[in-house]
Amino acid sequence: MSGHFRARPKELHIFPGNPLLPGAMPHPQGVYFSVFSRHATGMILCLYESPHDNKPAASLRLDPVRNRTGDIWHCYIPGLKPGTLYLWRAEGPFAPHEGHRFNPNKVLIDPYAKALTDGTLDLCSALAYDESSPDKDLSFSEKPNDGCMPKCVVIEDNFDWEGDTPLNYPLKDCIIYETHVRGLTRSSSAKAKHHGTYRGVVEMIPYFKDLGITSLEFLPVQEFDSAERFRHNPVTGEQLSNYWGYAPLAFFAPKTSYAYPDGVDHDSYDPEFPVKEFKYMVRELHKAGIEVILDVVFNHTAEGNELGPTLSFRGFDNSIFYMLAEDKRYYRNYSGCGNTLNCNHPVMRTFIKECLRYWVVTMHVDGFRFDLGSILGRDSQGNLLPNPPVIESIAEDPIMRNTKIIAEAWDAGGAYQVGSFPGGRWAEWNDRYRDDVRRFWRGDEGMAPHFATRITGSSDLYLKNGKRPFHSINFVTSHDGFTLNDLVSYHQKHNEANGEDNQDGLNENYSSNYGIEGPTNVPFIEEIRNRQIKNFFATLLLSIGTPMICGGDEFRRTQNGNNNAYCHDTEMNWYDWSYLKQHKDIYRFAKLLIGFRKSHQAFRREDFFRGETDRNTEANPEAPDILWFDEHGNPPLWTSLGKVLVARINEHSKSENSSKVPVYSYLLAFNASTEAIQIQLPNDNTEDTWKRIVDTSLPAPHDFEENEYPALEAPHTYVMGPRSFVLLIAGH
């Protein structure tokens, strides 16, 4: 890695740069650099020979007249090449009560850096104040931190994409699989040569294609601080880590460590290697027909509160980039992580949009999931705006017109906007779906009406705002909470290993252990758990909306009851692929459901059900698109409906010349009670012959009939097992 800068010219000359080229931009004869700071009085570009140098090989001071245009500091250095390592120092007022925290003793990461040498840093050395001082952050540290900071890398975009472009599938046709780049293949049980890496993901492509998913949603891959310092697992003594990645350092840079298997010396590689590896992963996934969606964190950074380190934004212009309290020494904290980015400031808005465009245009990603997305709707004082500029700007950006944008429509400051997230075309994580589906299958009273609304697209949330069913990202589990196995194996969370006295994570998970807390070999409890997992999968994949599967649920991955496993880069989070063989019936069931959904348009509707039709006349006897029944075959009394619900979905031909009768009818029956129930089958068409596709009370392979659907022996009734789901089909 060090060879690039050592090839520098004997003398370095600094010239005016181009303020329209943010970050570091290579040129055939040199490199352009630029960075924003409104309140800085001086700016120094530091160049390094190797990643761990504790002092720069060259420090180049920018002339505030020749090298500054407005708020942009810029320069051009002839003779430098891609691979050059650099950081910045910013001079200016140190006045915390006024919001300014400049400290030229601390080197800073370029916010537009396309790669870092490593995402691990020394927190103490990056503190801009004297820890021993009683004044803490009001004091001023003169200790340099060059040797303990990752270096920015000048990147040249010279990758051969082989004609690749983002896939951009319609949301209604997507099956999203949420996963973690490292955790997916880090375990020795993974059949991968490059464990825990972008290349390891590529090695999993045959698995993803066999399962049938269309889109991978990765937990954060933008460079983040990996360490969770000064905290250890109280059970094992292991140092905890920031495994999930919600502590951004560099928003344009892919995570460097995900390019290298553990134990490999990063310094022996091309400094552009992580960027090339990320692009390689995207290209190969696209070849296989699999989209890439990134979980992005534009709500806070790794710099934390006033006692946190000075790494980048804080040192360049703290009062611009962050929401500050009335006493500007302190930070408004709507993220729960110490600070909140000032997303609707024009400078930050531009930064966010340029970053997203970079990942779409240069890195070819297909979409984004915005962590704590409601923060994007707050002004500098923390107030929620009716028409937030940054949210509207992202939705209307012409370059990202086909890019998926998915909001986690809440934040840690109390905002909750599921069903009302502004900005038009945004999709949303639907936690109402998660909770209502969990509660129904747990057997909670009075949940059937809510359940019916969720599985038909949540019209109560989305119809009034002009959105479609596919704007609801339906999920039962995600990285944040129990896995599906743990949802049916634990009555309460077990987060003791997080070192927070089990006080972190959600207290109410709407889970059940069905008699024994945690793993068990008791056959009847395991049978109930398997059946409930199949019920959840059937519900998720046959609901109207966009389904998202939490990676590993298809083979009962467990986190040992931990519902907030953000800090464990261990076997707790790494996928144990031995479970795939152990729970092959669950995998088969999920795989067949995915295939069924993809081949039956009725479950990928663009519009909400109406329950009626304008053409339902004698001349046009088209059946309603959906009908509801209780177990007796009668229209349900929603106010007193029990734990059994039946829906008939009628799928109609799109052809103008076709008969005005359903092509297929589907009967979906849900029994969340603990008793076997005989249901009356609707039989309004004498030609109907119902055939069984799914019955979760039956053992594999009859839980999902794969080749030929057997006709029912009793055409008018069906006996459902306790806690079971049944799918029948009739038609041409």
Length of the chain: 732
Contact of 548 with 176, CB cutoff 8 Å: yes
Contact of 319 with 357, CB cutoff 8 Å: no
Q: Which residues contact 29 (CB under 8 A, 6 or more apart)?
A: 78, 79
Q: Which residues contact 485 (CB under 8 A, 6 or more apart)?
A: 529, 533, 553, 556, 557, 558
List the one residue out of 257, 330, 337 whose CA is nearest residue 297.
337
Measured CA to CA in angstroms, residue 465 lies from 270, 314, 468 at distances of 50, 38, 9
Instruction: List helix spans (H) across 258-379.
Output: 273-287, 313-321, 346-361
3-class secondary structure per residue, 388-410: CHHHHHHHHCCCCCCCEEEECCE
Q: Which residues contact 409 (CB under 8 A, 6 or more apart)?
A: 373, 374, 416, 417, 418, 419, 420, 421, 428, 429
- Identified catalytic residue from 217, 277, 284, 408: 408
Phi-psi region of 253 (alpha: psi -120 to 50; beta: other; left: phi over 0): beta
Provide the 3-class DSSP secondary structure of residue 260.
Answer: coil
- Identified catalytic residue from 371, 480, 553, 630: 371
Q: Which two tokens stand for residue 516?
A: 């024994």
By the 10 Å C-beta count (0-12 exposed, 13-18 middle, 19+ buried), 708 is classed as exposed
What is the Cα–Cα distance from 403 to 364, expressed in whole angstroms? 10
Strand partners, 152: 86, 116
By the 10 Å C-beta count (0-12 exposed, 13-18 middle, 19+ buried), 306 is classed as buried
Element (H, E) at 592: helix 584-599
Contact of 296 with 368, CB cutoff 8 Å: yes
How many degrees, rounded to 5, is the angle at CA 556 between CA 552 and CA 560?
A: 100
Instruction: List helix spans (H) across 151-254.
Output: 181-185, 198-203, 205-211
Measured CA to CA in angstroms, residue 726 lies from 15, 78, 110, 703 at distances of 72, 70, 56, 9
Residue 408 annotated among the catalytic residues of the structure: yes
DSSP-derived secondary structure for 148-169? GSPPEE--------TT------
Residue 371 annotated among the catalytic residues of the structure: yes
Contact of 351 with 200, CB cutoff 8 Å: no
DSSP-derived secondary structure for 630-690? -TTSSPP-GGG--SEEEEEEEEE---TTS-SSEEEEEEEEEE-SSS-EEEEPP--STT---
Chain-centre distance for alpha carbon 442: 26
SS3 content of the chain, % helix, strand, coil (to 5): 25, 20, 55
Q: How many Å is the Cα radius of gyration of the chain?
A: 28
Measured CA to CA in angstroms, residue 648 lies from 142, 457, 607, 667, 727 at distances of 72, 15, 17, 5, 10
Q: How many CB atoms lie within 10 A of CB 691?
A: 16
* Range list of β-strands (E), 79-188: 85-91, 94-95, 100-101, 152-153, 176-179
List the one residue out of 280, 268, 232, 262 whose CA is nearest residue 117.
268
Q: How many CB atoms lie within 10 A of CB 527?
A: 14
- Catalytic positions are 371, 408
